[in-house]
Structure 1
Amino acid sequence: MEPFQEHRWLLWAVVSAVMACTEMLSGDFTLLMLAAGAGAGAITAAIVPGMWLVQVLVAVAVAAILLAVLRPTLLRRVRDAPGYRSSFDKLVGSDGVATSEITDGHGQVKIDGEEWSARTLEPGLTIATGEKIEVYEVDGATLVVYPVFRSLGP
C-alpha cells in the first residue's frame, strides 16, 4: 500500500472502474451507484490526499444517496420502456418437459435446466411425466402449461 499513500485517488479510481465494468454483468445499477461513490472518493482524495476518513465518508454518502434516489428511478424507467420483458415474461412461449405428472392443481416442469411448479391450462387435463410442454402464462410463481403434441379442448 506504500505506493498508494501519495496517490490514494488512483486506488479509488481503480475500484470505481472495476465496479463500473462489473455492473455490465449484472444490469442492476447497484454496482454503478457504488462505482460513482468510489469516483467521488477519488475526487476527494485528489483534493485532500491525507484525509482518508473524509474520502470514505464522501464515497459512502454519494453511494447511499445514489442508491436511494437515482437507482429506483433508473430501474423504473428501464422496466417501463417499450419492449422490456422481465425474466418471468420471457418464460411465456418457452418449451420444456414435464418432470412429474401435471394436473390442473400441481406438477413440475423443467425449462432451460430450471425446475418450476406448474399446472395445466385446462381443468381436468393431465400431462404425463416426460411429455413436452409449452408455457402459456405465468401465474405468480406457477407456470400454466399445455402439452405441445396434443390438441386442447373438445
Structure 2
Amino acid sequence: MEFIQTIEDFAWIGWLVLILVFLVIEMLTLDFTFLMLSIGGLAGLGADLLGAPLWLQVIIAAAVAAVLILVLRPPLLRRLRRGEDPTPSNVDALLGLAGRVLATTSEVAGQVKLANGDIWTARVEGRGALDPGTPVRVVRIDGATAFVRPELEEQTP
C-alpha cells in the first residue's frame, strides 16, 4: 500500500515527463497529435494538483486528449495546409512535360531533353523508335528513366 501511495504522491513528475516527451515528439512530427496528447497530460497534471486520485487523472487526461484530437486537430490541420503550394513537384512535375528526342529512342534505350532543360534517359512507351528532334511528352517516370510518347499520338483520341 505504501508503494501505491508513493506513486500517487509523485504522479506530478510522471505527468511532467510525459508532457515533455509528447512535446518533443510533436516537434519532430508536426502533426498536432502529440500536441493534443500533451495538452491531455496537462489536464491530468491539473487533476493531480487538485488532489484527484490517479485513476481519475488518467481518465481526465485521456478524455481531454481524445476530444482535442477529434474536435480541434482537423480544423488546425486544414488551416495549416491551406497555404500549401498546389504546384506539383519532383516526379509529379515531370508527368505530361514536353520534350525533344536527342538520341534515337526506342523501347530499350534513348535520350530526351525536356522543356525544363533536363536531359533524361528515355524509352518509348509502346512500340517503335523515335528519331532525334521528334517532339514527345512524358507519360511516366520509372527510376531515372522517362517513358515518352510522340507528341502527335497524344493529340489524337
- The answer to whether TM tops 0.5 is yes
Instruction: Identify which of 124, 134, 146 aligns with 2:150.
Output: 124
Normalising by structure 1, report the TM-score. 0.58
Q: Which residue of 2 aligns with 1:150?
A: none
Q: Which amino acid aligns with 2:21?
A: V
Based on CA coordinates, which of the two structures has the bigger radius of gyration? Answer: 2
Match of 1:66?
68
Structure 1 gap ranges (5+): 111-117, 126-154
1:46 to 46, 49, 56: 49
Using the alignment, how far apart are the partners of 1:18 and 1:78 within structure 2? Answer: 23
Aligned equivalents of 2:119, 2:42: Cα separation in 1 = 45
Residues 71-129 of structure 1, C-alpha deviations (whole Å, 9 max, x = no match): 00110001113xx247x84433798976x84636555125xxxxxxx754xx337xxxx
Query: What is the number of equivalent residue pairs in this alignment?
Result: 112
**2:142 aligned with 1:108:** yes
Structure 2: where are the runs of 5+ without partners?
95-115, 126-137, 152-157
Q: In the alignment, is the contact (CA less than 8 A) between 2:8 and 2:54 conserved in 1?
A: no
Structure 1 residues 79 and 6: CA distance shift in structure 2, 3 A: same
Query: In angstroms, what is the RMSD of aligned CA positions?
Result: 3.4
Aligned to 2:113: none
Counting aligned pairs with the same residue, the percent is 32
Distance 2:119 2:32 in 1: 32
Query: After TM superposition, where is structure 1 displaced by more than 2 Å over at least 4 residues in a row?
Result: 1-5, 88-98, 100-107
